Structure 1
Amino acid sequence: MRPFAVAGIQMKVSAVASNLEMMKLKLDITMSLYPWVDMVVFSELCGYGPLTHTAQEIPGEFEQQMQALAKKHNIWLLPGSIFEKDHGRIYNTATVINPEGEIVTRYRKMFPFYPYEVGVTPGSEFCVFDVPGVAKFGVSICYDMWFPETVRTLTVMGAEVILHPTMTGTIDREIELSIVRAMAAVNQCYFFDVNGLESGGSGRSIVCGPDGRVIYQAEGNEEIFPLELNIERVRRSRELGILRLGQPLKSFRDHIGQFGIYQPGADLPYLNSLGPLIKPTRIDTLTKLKMKENEYEPPTAPTGYKGFGEL
């Protein structure tokens, strides 16, 4: 099997201006320095930043320009994601482009970062695609990986490499690094996580192999990190076990019928007791002030999202 090289681009992302020209420059630099690279991956919302008012219709100008770049450099390209507007809704959407400049597939983020990614509608379809003669790839975006079922489903669909654009600038980035390692190990796959900088995140992109070990971890500066993947490592791990020990995918297969909690109509009293999905506030402080003034009223929480907003 021929080697296959993937490059992640960790770059600064502006929230107030288009980052399209800088993406073009970074891609040109990447291919000038590393002409052996087969695929390039940018971070989540890299093109136009994290505000929903930048949402565009797809297909559109962004995809067209990215298609031209993929064809120019003869590479597979996942240019992060952008906010997509479609029939009154907004999605966080990533596009996969082949070396001929053709759209292979698109993926809408299934788990927006509620209650913070306000106004974004979840996608409903998993995304895998084939690179002929190389491997099957899966696409996941940022908060998706906090739900193990998403990555597990991609691997059950045959994904051997998970491409994961993210935009994390919050204090839980350290936790995410652990999640990447865990997802790579329990699903016996490569996990390629690309974060942005400034308005696009705090960096520290990470790539892990099918045994959960870190192959590369970036720092908090702009970086281009090209890595040659050995897909045979995935297949050997799935055949013989992680470090010739656990075989989680086979074990999951052999016990899949026992997970009744996931069946339609399952009774989930504990999860239903957790209350609505709301943004934390200083509720104790507000409650005490109202009680002191004899004006206390039980707080009401929103039950869902209406309309669009900005992050």
Structure 2
Amino acid sequence: MTMPLPIGLAQTAARHHAADDPDGFAAEVRGVTEAHPDIRLLAYPELHLCGHRPGEEPETVMSAAAEPLDGPRGTRLAALARELGIWLVPGSVYEQGADGRIYNTAPVYSPAGERVAAYRKIFPWRPYETTASGSTFVVFDMEGYGRVGLTICYDAWFPETTRHLAWQGADLVLNLVRTPTVDRAQEVVLAQANAIVNQLFMASLNAAAPDGVGRSVVVGPEGEMRAEAGPGPEEVLTDVLDLAEARRVRTRGTAGLTRVWDPFADDQPPIELPLYAGRIDPERWRGGPCP
């Protein structure tokens, strides 16, 4: 048995002075939980704590804001999740990796104040984003609720990303977004498509103006639009999800018909995937479709 999961998606603008005002985000989160005391999972958009000041070069912000995940910022975030007794996804942050590279990373903190997951963006938006690419698909378990997967913005455009998370058992995928451009319309369609073809919940959380154009959405495992925020303004999008519904849809099929996780005959041989050669290889991918 699983419990219903009340979620909050904080469609907000980035905190441009987060490093100078470390208590500001804590006050922001406390305000949301006071207004919505039932929320158990609270999430923020991509790079919410690492916003670029107007006219500032992203590389300057990256260098100034990058910290190891177990640095001072991580310590404060863990303490905040413990104080409020919530699952906290503070958006993604610039992570200073042990290899010397900077990653766009989404950490997750449990109500016990522990970092239970951290996902590095696999598909930075080249050539505009210069963070290093992650290489691991990440899910985490919320005891009593279900399993959640993580993606960041452009990852949603690559169906392999959400498919791997679904294969790893994700009932809900959080897609943390910072899109200020007109292609947010396509991202909303992709949220529905990823939900439909993988039979899971999708929560696509975009930043508010001026960092994003809003339109955050929650989509059910049969593609139904459950909730949608407005275009631009700051708001908190809330919903209550029964994550067991995703498992029911996978078992019985979309509309009781389509079972995408059981499509093969018992005697069907394996299907080779020549594009991947058993893996996603950047050089092979860059070569495009074979003639």
Shared fold (TM-score greater than 0.5)? yes
Residues 209 and 233 of structure 2 are in contact (CA less than 8 Å); yes or no, is this contact kept in structure 1?
no
Q: Quote the Cα distance in structure 2 between the aligned partners of 1:115 and 1:29.
A: 37
* 1:29 maps to which of 28, 31, 36: 31
Aligned residue identity for 2:245: R
Task: Report the TM-score when normalising by structure 2.
Answer: 0.86
Q: Which stretch shifts more, 9-18 or 257-266?
A: 257-266
Task: Report the TM-score when normalising by structure 1.
Answer: 0.81
Alignment of 1:2 onto 2:16: no
Percent of matched pairs sharing the same residue = 34
Aligned to 1:102: 114
Alignment of 1:88 onto 2:100: yes
- Where does the alignment leave 5 or more consecutive residues of structure 1 unmatched? 275-311
Aligned residue identity for 1:210: P
Aligned to 1:272: 287
Q: Quote the Cα distance in structure 1 between the aligned partners of 2:3 and 2:288.
A: 52
The structure with more radius of gyration: 1
Q: Which stretch shifts more, 148-157 or 162-171?
A: 162-171
Label 1:229 to 1:88 Cα distance change in 2 as closer, same or farther (>3 A).
same
Aligned to 1:174: 185
Alignment of 1:151 onto 2:162: yes
Label 1:64 to 1:252 Cα distance change in 2 as closer, same or farther (>3 A).
farther
Label 1:136 to 1:266 Cα distance change in 2 as closer, same or farther (>3 A).
closer
* 2:222 maps to which of 211, 215, 226: 211
Aligned residue identity for 2:123: F
**In the TM superposition, what whole-angstrom CA distance separates every residue of 1:23-68 from its partner, at most 9, and x where no partner exists?**
3223112211221111101000001215323222221122111111
Residues 191 and 219 of structure 2 are in contact (CA less than 8 Å); yes or no, is this contact kept in structure 1?
yes
Label 1:273 to 1:226 Cα distance change in 2 as closer, same or farther (>3 A).
closer
Would you tell me which structure has more helix in proportion to its own residues? Answer: 1
Residues 14 and 199 of structure 1 are in contact (CA less than 8 Å); yes or no, is this contact kept in structure 2?
no
Alignment of 1:226 onto 2:249: no
- Where does the alignment leave 5 or more consecutive residues of structure 2 unmatched? 53-57
Taking only aligned residues, the RMSD between alpha carbons, in angstroms, comes to 2.5
Alignment of 1:44 onto 2:46: yes
* 1:66 maps to which of 73, 77, 82: 77
Q: How many residues align?
A: 273
Cα distance, 1:266 vs structure 2: 10
Cα distance, 1:203 vs structure 2: 1.1
Q: Quote the Cα distance in structure 1 between the aligned partners of 2:51 and 2:17.
A: 7
* 1:123 maps to which of 134, 146, 153: 134
